[in-house]
């Protein structure tokens, strides 16, 4: 088994997360009875978090890191607020 650097591992995770986003959003838009908004938002939080880590540790871009952390926190708050307002819908 080949050894991978931490940067390659982050890039692999980021690529998987990026591929998943359009499908997740499409499923929510066209299959609402089977896909919950909370699951879509949670997936977007995951992508923003991985992007933030990649931005800082691989690219060394502090500004991009801050933007992705902000995005992840806002999406996370939106998910928790939605759940507090209507617990059975998430």
CA 71, 80, 44, 21 torsion: positive or negative? negative
Closest CA to 20 of 50, 40, 49, 37: 40
> pLDDT tens for residues 11-22?
888 888 888 888
Confidence at residue 66, expressed as pLDDT on a 0 to 100 scale: 98
Q: Which residues lie below 8 Å from residue 51, measured CB to CB, with a gap of 6+?
A: 14, 17, 64, 68
For residues 57 and 38, what is the distance between their CA atoms, to the nearest angstrom?
29
Question: What are the angstrom distances between the C-alpha of 59 and each of 12, 36, 47, 52?
Answer: 15, 33, 16, 10
> pLDDT tens for residues 37-86?
888 888 899 999 999 999 999 999 999 999 999 999 999 998 887 666 66
């Amino acid at each position: 088994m080949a050894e991978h650097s931490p940067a390659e591992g982050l890039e692999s995770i980021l690529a998987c997360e990026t591929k998943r986003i359009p499908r997740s959003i499409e499923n929510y838009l066209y299959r609402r009875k089977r896909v919950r908004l909370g699951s879509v938002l949670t997936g977007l939080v995951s992508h923003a978090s991985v992007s933030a880590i990649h931005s800082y540790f691989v690219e060394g871009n502090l500004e991009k890191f801050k933007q992705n952390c902000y995005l992840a926190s806002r999406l996370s708050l939106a998910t928790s607020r939605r759940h507090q307002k209507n617990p059975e819908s998430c």
